[in-house]
Structure 1
Amino acid sequence: MAEIQPVRGWRYNAELSARIDDYVSPLFDVVSAKQREALYRNPLNSIHLSVPRGEDAAGEALRRLMQWQEQGILQQDALPGIYVYYQYFRLPGSSREYCRKGFMCHIRAYDWAEEVILRHENTLPAAVNDRAELLSRTRFQTSATHGLYRDDAFELERYLDEAMLDPLYQTEEDYQGARDVLAVIQDAHVIRRFQHVLAARQIILADGHHRYEGSLAYRLARRQAAGAAYTGQEAWNYHLMYLTNAAADDLRILPTHRLLLDLPEGVSQAELLTRLQPYFTVLPLDDPYDLPERIAGKPWAFGLYLGDGQAYKLRLRPEVHAQLDWDTTPEVKALDLTVLHFFVLEKALGVVGPEAQRQWSGVAYVRNFSECLTRVDRGEARAAFITNEVTMDEVERVCHSGAVMPPKSTFFYPKTIGGFLFTSIRDEETTSPFYAAFRS
């Protein structure tokens, strides 16, 4: 199944790593405009490589990368390794500190049809092309995508814990409130054990579909250019991934709520309620802040907030579920969010079909529950639909069914960060005397 390789990571030099918080950045698709401007003011922040700006943004990233390497700002580790990456975090309303354990390495960039790496969402071509262009120019990876393997025996965790006894560096607190810690495993015997365990596993891509497809696009272009000289061992066949165990209790998926920025012409909030009633039982609630608790753990249940304290619990009438006639798998049809998109967006609001809904500007995806209520009260939105989180079991079932979820179904928390570890896919990487020792 999945082939992984250790890497000779590129990292900020020892002096800068001591202040690593100053140089890490959010991923390209979650960094806000305000965060970008603040980070750009630091001339050494990793955002200049991951989200470069200028008329020739990718060219600017390459120029800066070469400068940083020449000046020793970024330095390559002498030995290849598996990079252990722990993220410590808390969730709102809980005193428990979670620790998501994983490791970063190179993984072969498999086409979707090979069914080694499985996806659960579609991508936007413009974002894929942007990532492919940046990779093509720099041949450098600034942040790891997030993949999930399942190992109920937790065989690798003891090696991860042992490495964490001697960390390389850590953040005090990243932009999302998590503490990120990096260590490395350079023992060849242990690395081969990691390779053996992953060789028996499929990987579910949790986060980073655009970056991964960018790698696929670049790999395809290089393979076509190589022609008969292609060996399959070239560095550009590989992709930087953060791998975590899907069986772990510290793997958290947070809900993403749906905010209706507008309603179709002629549909008032009262009319919306009327249109929902053939499909849902509608129960008024006194306190909108009770909505998450009232729907928690209940299938096909949602909260609805219309402003001025108007809150409702919605639950699909079981007998109407058979009307859900989208051309997808039973695993996708069973999802809360599929029910929401079909019976609310399509049936009640007339936005017909998954593709039209993906492109519809009338819906926004918001993770913060309080923000949903506030934006409706301010008149920035007409309604908020509050959802439950997707479970890991649902993610696995959908991926193995070969289908994809509705947009913005999962938010794996916390996100990985950029600038913690860089890797190269330049040709010279495979000429390292260490590389052959870890080939399949």
Structure 2
Amino acid sequence: MRIYPFRALRYNTQKVQLEDVVTQPYDKISPAMQEAYYEKSPFNLIRVILGKRFPADTETENVYSRAAKTLQDWRKEAVLVEEREPALFGYAQRYTVPGTNEVRERRGLICLGHLYDYAEQVVYRHEQTLAKPKSDRLSLFKATRTYCEQIYMLYSDPSFTVESLVFGNRTGEPTIPADETVTDEYGVVHSVWKVTDPHVLNLLVGALSDKKLIIADGHHRYETSTAYARERAAELGVADSTRQHEHSEKQVGEADESPSNDADMKAGPQLPVPPFPEAAMMMTLVNTDAPGITILPTHRIVYGLKDFSSQAFLDKAAEFFDVSKVEAKAVAAGSDAEGVESAAERLAPLNGTEGVAFLAVMADGTWLLKAKKAAVEGALQHVPPRQRVMDVVQLHALVLEQLLELTPESIRQQENLRYLRSAEDAAAQVARGEADIAFLIKPVTLDQMKEVSLGGEVMPQKSTDFYPKLLSGLAFYALD
């Protein structure tokens, strides 16, 4: 994998408080969160990554054109300022694992990463993508020509090279003080270290040059960016990745279209830059051999089914699953829960069950479905062997597609399916009559994800939910 230091745009903390302007990633922002971000500051990043849409919008005046103008204005007003020299950024997130008291720290490196087609076997995906987010992100990128958010990438390095160079140690409390720290609305503490020493930068570039990457979060953005890079390469006469690599040996100080990649000429080691601005995007790389990675489940909510019957569904499911009703736990009167089970209580029967299992929440109760191995094996002969034993794959390939007869295309288009992290919210949608059935599932493990991805396979959409999310607005990569 080829990475590049870059002259990032960053918020000017002499003009804004970082807490007031950064956000969660665009796809994790609810309408209520969007409104709260708007109220926090006129310079909050929400105006760029997920602006408001209005009935009077036209082809030329719309959410994307407003985002582009907003960025231009912020740069003119020095709300966003460009770093004077190329840098890579250490990034640490200290957080409490949801539903527990365990505190973890996840470390990463913010950089520009070269864009590779999947066929080149340098960058691997682990799940399928949805159709709707792709066109939206591409339209925003073409209007702003700026990366305001990083995508989250995984690599393996048992020697902990990045951690030692950037944070001063392999694990534990960093020995080098952070340059910036901000706490988000979930209590996650985000810290950033700026690395500008050319010698250290080249060591980091070299240490990661032989790594393969797995996309953890950001499949849609990676795929749209790669397609756009391919278009731009054709315009420039760079026909394939091999020629891109020949061009990518260009060093800092040579002509380049992007101010984020240019630098003042100075003595010292030369640093690589992309062959052209669109050939790279902003990423955070995280070492899978280091502690701190947490994967949460993403639950499925099925709605809008014609003539849905819970009993008919359970009768069909009994061929492949041992079905047992789960009795709701009584909640003491006057408790904070007010008669509603907590997530831990609701998920306890599932988490206490070995092997593949789901909870099916319907209007007349909750049932535990535990897979019958032989029956499931026979029904999933069309599924790669390593995926047949995975909860989320059995849920999609057997329950959603065969028992509920949802087509893969309707699932991809989210016609009858919603995704939620919160088990309580998923169950509440059923209780309110907004869904026919909610499936609560266990999380995919890191080893499962790596095995599937590096094996060239993909899991269903939204199979993983990496926690916490990367904060948006810590750095920007401007192509112009």
TM-score, with length taken from structure 1: 0.89
Q: Which amino acid aligns with 2:359?
A: G
Query: Residue 385 of structure 1 corresponds to which residue in structure 2?
Result: 439
Deviation of 1:377 after TM superposition, in Å, equals 2.5
Query: Residue 258 of structure 1 corresponds to which residue in structure 2?
Result: 300
Residue of 176, 196, 200 corresponding to 2:210: 200
Deviation of 1:59 after TM superposition, in Å, equals 2.5
Answer yes or no: is 1:355 the counterpart of 2:406. no
The 1:302–1:161 alpha-carbon spacing in structure 2 relative to 1, beyond 3 Å, is same
CA contact (8 A) 1:132 1:217 kept: no
Residue of 450, 454, 458 corresponding to 1:404: 458
Q: Which amino acid aligns with 1:165?
A: I
> 1:140 & 1:346 partners in 2: Cα distance?
39
Residue of 365, 373, 376 corresponding to 1:318: 373
> 2:26 & 2:107 partners in 1: Cα distance?
23
CA contact (8 A) 2:87 2:195 kept: yes
Deviation larger for 184-193 or 386-395: 184-193
The 1:148–1:361 alpha-carbon spacing in structure 2 relative to 1, beyond 3 Å, is same
Query: Residue 298 of structure 1 corresponds to which residue in structure 2?
Result: 354
The 3-state SS of whatever aligns with 1:29 is helix
> 2:414 & 2:99 partners in 1: Cα distance?
34
Residue of 171, 177, 183 corresponding to 2:182: 171
Query: Residue 329 of structure 1 corresponds to which residue in structure 2?
Result: 384
Q: Which runs of 4+ in 1 moved over 6 A?
A: none
> 1:187 & 1:316 partners in 2: Cα distance?
55
The 3-state SS of whatever aligns with 1:44 is coil
The 1:123–1:373 alpha-carbon spacing in structure 2 relative to 1, beyond 3 Å, is closer
Q: Which amino acid aligns with 1:147?
A: M
Answer yes or no: is 1:180 the counterpart of 2:199. no
Deviation of 1:238 after TM superposition, in Å, equals 0.9
Query: Residue 433 of structure 1 corresponds to which residue in structure 2?
Result: none
Deviation of 1:291 after TM superposition, in Å, equals 5.0
Query: Residue 13 of structure 1 corresponds to which residue in structure 2?
Result: 12
CA contact (8 A) 1:291 1:311 kept: no
CA contact (8 A) 1:85 1:182 kept: yes
Residue of 127, 130, 149 corresponding to 2:133: 127
The 3-state SS of whatever aligns with 2:26 is coil
Query: Residue 3 of structure 1 corresponds to which residue in structure 2?
Result: 2
> 1:392 & 1:83 partners in 2: Cα distance?
25
Residue of 99, 103, 114 corresponding to 2:105: 99
Q: CA RMSD in A?
A: 2.2
The 1:337–1:33 alpha-carbon spacing in structure 2 relative to 1, beyond 3 Å, is same
The 1:60–1:285 alpha-carbon spacing in structure 2 relative to 1, beyond 3 Å, is closer
Query: Residue 344 of structure 1 corresponds to which residue in structure 2?
Result: 399
Deviation of 1:111 after TM superposition, in Å, equals 1.1
CA contact (8 A) 1:102 1:160 kept: no
Query: Residue 146 of structure 2 corresponds to which residue in structure 1?
Result: 140
> 1:89 & 1:70 partners in 2: Cα distance?
36
The 1:326–1:217 alpha-carbon spacing in structure 2 relative to 1, beyond 3 Å, is farther
> 2:179 & 2:298 partners in 1: Cα distance?
34
Q: Which amino acid aligns with 1:107?
A: G
Deviation of 1:364 after TM superposition, in Å, equals 1.9
The 3-state SS of whatever aligns with 1:273 is helix
Deviation larger for 58-67 or 144-153: 58-67
> 1:270 & 1:112 partners in 2: Cα distance?
44
After TM superposition, the structure 1 = structure 2 runs for residues 426-437 of structure 1, keeping only pairs within 5 Å, are: 426=480
> 1:65 & 1:326 partners in 2: Cα distance?
51
Query: Residue 430 of structure 1 corresponds to which residue in structure 2?
Result: none
The 3-state SS of whatever aligns with 2:14 is helix
TM-score, with length taken from structure 2: 0.82
Residue of 308, 311, 326 corresponding to 1:270: 311
> 1:164 & 1:59 partners in 2: Cα distance?
44
Deviation of 1:102 after TM superposition, in Å, equals 0.6
> 1:227 & 1:262 partners in 2: Cα distance?
49
Q: Which amino acid aligns with 1:248?
A: A
Query: Residue 287 of structure 1 corresponds to which residue in structure 2?
Result: 328
Query: Residue 224 of structure 2 corresponds to which residue in structure 1?
Result: 214
> 1:228 & 1:142 partners in 2: Cα distance?
26
Query: Residue 32 of structure 1 corresponds to which residue in structure 2?
Result: 30
1:404-426 CA deviation, whole Å, 9 max, x = no partner? Answer: 11121111111112111111223
> 1:64 & 1:360 partners in 2: Cα distance?
31
> 1:57 & 1:374 partners in 2: Cα distance?
32
> 2:414 & 2:283 partners in 1: Cα distance?
32
The 3-state SS of whatever aligns with 1:156 is helix
Deviation of 1:228 after TM superposition, in Å, equals 6.3
Any gaps of 5 or more consecutive residues in structure 1?
A: 427-440
Deviation of 1:56 after TM superposition, in Å, equals 3.1
The 1:397–1:25 alpha-carbon spacing in structure 2 relative to 1, beyond 3 Å, is same
Deviation of 1:128 after TM superposition, in Å, equals 2.1
Answer yes or no: is 1:48 the counterpart of 2:47. yes
The 1:365–1:164 alpha-carbon spacing in structure 2 relative to 1, beyond 3 Å, is farther
CA contact (8 A) 2:90 2:193 kept: yes
The 1:12–1:200 alpha-carbon spacing in structure 2 relative to 1, beyond 3 Å, is same
CA contact (8 A) 2:132 2:413 kept: no
> 2:388 & 2:164 partners in 1: Cα distance?
39
